[in-house]
Amino acid sequence: MTVIAHDVGSVGGMEHQISELINGLLRLGHHVTVIARKFVPTEQDVGGSAPGVVEFHRVRGPARPVLLAYPWFMVMAWFVVRRRRRGIVQATGAIVPNRVDVIAVHYCHQVSPASPSRSSALYRVHSWLVGRMLRLGERACFQVNRSAEFVCVSEGVADDIRAHHPRVAERVVTIQNGVDTDKFAPGVRAADARALRASLGIGPSRPLAVFVGSDWERKGLELVLHALASAREWDLAIAGAGDRGRYEALAASLGLERSVHWLGLVSDVQPVYEMAQAFVFPSSYEAFSLVSLEAAACGLPILATPINGVRELIVDGESGFVIDRDAGEIADRLMRLAADPKLMASIGGAAREAALAFGWERMVARHHELYAALADAKTGAGAPRSG
């Protein structure tokens, strides 16, 4: 197997999903060639007890700004892929012009917004140019690879690809993201969670909501802060990166200085979920919300918009609340949970049960079946088709 990606590692939903896929392939005994700008391996990636072997080839180049980094990687990776590819080749999105066997689709750039990380005019112009470039790159790479399998991480993304790339519609497959339901589980890091709450000065009986993710404008952090201004009984912990100065100023203007806690980028996010009583995520677009899966697996009630993934995970009023991007509605749901501990426990338990259907083993097994079918087709044993 050859896996091509910009970055592979534990931070970031897409990067983590690729890492888990590689781990699963190693457990099955595959030789995995990784071609990427950055590869942060786990112990299992570099050997451990897994029978497979991983081989890494770095594509040197900048990660920022995207306007430079994207075409730079595309050109440089083209040479590396030509020399180092072996077996079934999977590209993570429209990132190389080479012909590949599989394209893993984490976003449909024809519909996904390219939100600026800051609100200045320069950042907004850069964001517009990046969005335009990604849409053109996607169309070009998909055209070259019309005979590839397009593996989408959610039914919503699959629908977007069929609608915006009709020439590949018959090659679209859905394999949802997964979650480690042993690592992300209620009570497994209770001591660490209590210590984290204490370090933030949050009392043990005060309800705490968490918001996890960067790109705060798209993911709705402003709405969460306005909701907290009404649901004063709640604290909020924010894990991720964004225009912190702008949002700190907003929190201060709402009188939330003492109830909002800024954690920054967090590599070990499990204790963040563990210390909380709810997860809030009013995002405008996601391909498949891995953080929602992690929070649900930890037994948190989910308050999220009906984005891709959430629609496949949450039943409104049973395993979470499907919300609009409306601060008043978010505040109402938070106050309902705070006023009814039994409801909070019931919804959290149902969220945990829902997450159990999305284990990493299922995701790896479905990829393995697809790769085996493609390998058989290459040797003339059959044609690859998947559901």
Summarize pLDDT for 272-293 with one digit per residue, the tens.
999 999 999 999 988 888 899 9
Which pLDDT band holds residue 88 (cuts at 50, 70, 90)? very high
Which pLDDT band holds residue 202 (cuts at 50, 70, 90)? very high
State which amino acid sits at residue 335: M
Two tokens at 110? Answer: 């024809």
- Helices (DSSP H) in the chain: which residue ranges? 13-27, 66-84, 121-144, 155-164, 190-200, 216-219, 221-230, 244-253, 270-274, 290-297, 310-313, 327-339, 341-355, 360-378
Residue-range domain boundaries for the chain: 2-178+360-378, 190-357
| 10, 43 Cβ separation under 8 angstroms | no
> How many CB atoms within 10 Å of residue 10?
14
**Mean pLDDT computed over every residue of the chain:** 91
If phi > 0 it is left, if psi is from -120 to 50 it is alpha, else beta; for residue 244 that is alpha
pLDDT digits (tens, 9 = 90+) for 291-341: 999 999 999 999 999 988 888 899 999 999 999 999 999 999 999 999 999
Residue 110 has pLDDT above 80, yes or no: yes
Which pLDDT band holds residue 49 (cuts at 50, 70, 90)? low
**Domain 2-178+360-378 is classified in which CATH homologous superfamily?**
Glycogen Phosphorylase B; (3.40.50.2000)
CA distance 283 to 300: 17
Q: What is the pLDDT of residue 386?
A: 43
pLDDT digits (tens, 9 = 90+) for 148-168: 999 999 998 999 999 999 999
* CATH class of segment(s) 190-357: alpha beta
> How many CB atoms within 10 Å of residue 352?
20
pTM of this structure: 0.81
Which pLDDT band holds residue 387 (cuts at 50, 70, 90)? very low
**Percentage of residues in the chain having pLDDT higher than 70:** 93
Range 105-110 average pLDDT = 90
pLDDT digits (tens, 9 = 90+) for 219-271: 999 999 999 999 999 999 999 999 999 999 999 999 999 999 999 999 899 99
Decide if 2-178+360-378 and 190-357 have a common fold: yes
